[in-house]
A and B are shown apart, each in its own frame.
Chain A
Amino acid sequence: QKEVEQNSGPLSVPEGAIASLNCTYSDRGSQSFFWYRQYSGKSPELIMFIYSNGDKEDGRFTAQLNKASQYVSLLIRDSQPSDSATYLCAVRVGGSNYKLTFGKGTLLTVNP
């Protein structure tokens, strides 16, 4: 059973702080990792992807991957109230199976 685990939160941070969102996965064959943002009542929106160990930065967002420890994280620097949303981690396993497994998401609240 492939599993992707996230702390459901809510994670509450003050405006301007760094928000750290974590995700662990069970299948060591996982090869690609994605972060989505979902505002309440809206559809998921792809914000980051990472394939290799290390950090990947895009604006205020940094994705971090550690395959040995089987975790992937998303850092949001200078958090804004508009970042308040549920963040979904998704993992794709190698092989002919094209299914993407999502975590249940972490609710982030950024307080002004």
Chain B
Amino acid sequence: EAQVTQNPRYLITVTGKKLTVTCSQNMNHEYMSWYRQDPGLGLRQIYYSMNVEVTDKGDVPEGYKVSRKEKRNFPLILESPSPNQTSLYFCASSLLTGIYSTEAFFGQGTRLTVV
């Protein structure tokens, strides 16, 4: 089954404790991205990756890091989480890149709470 898998689904952590949210897709997609979704603010892109070792900032990259060492995986790293990073996070992927492509598949979401 084609899917994007995020882990964990729920996470409560403390300020400053480094964490990683994993994202894996089994569709051999080149394009992957991370979003956060907050009430009243909608979906905002954090980082995206066009292919292995190719990443770029989205609209809200501050406080986040990503890496793309393998095509299937695109982890999101919070080196020193803060309460304003409490949010619902989605990973997405797409086979195509370019103007007519879009985020075709979304993961199940990770609800992160930073206390």
A residues within 8 Å of B by Cβ?
31-32, 34, 42-46, 49, 51, 88, 90, 92, 94, 98-105
B residues near A, CB below 8 A? 31, 33, 35, 40-45, 48, 50, 56, 58-59, 90, 97-104, 106-109
Chain B residues touching A, majority SS: loop
Q: In the bound complex, what is the Cα–Cα distance between A22 and B101 (angstroms)?
A: 21
19 CB-based A-B contacts, threshold 8 Å: A32-B99, A34-B102, A42-B108, A43-B109, A44-B90, A44-B103, A90-B103, A92-B99, A92-B100, A94-B99, A98-B48, A98-B98, A99-B45, A99-B48, A100-B45, A102-B42, A102-B43, A104-B40, A105-B42
Complex-state Cα separation, A28 to B87, whole angstroms? 31
How far is B44's CA from A88's CA once the two chains are assembled, in angstroms? 12
Shortest CB-to-CB span from B82 to chain A, Å, is 23
Q: B50, A98: Cβ atoms under 8 Å? A: yes
Interface centre among B58, B99, B103, B108 (most CB of A within 10 A): B99
Q: Closest CB of chain A to B83's CB: distance in Å?
A: 22
Q: Given the interface contacts A43-B107, A43-B108, does A88 sit within 8 Å of B50 by beta carbon?
A: no
Among A32, A45, A99, the residue within 8 A (CB) of B59 is A99
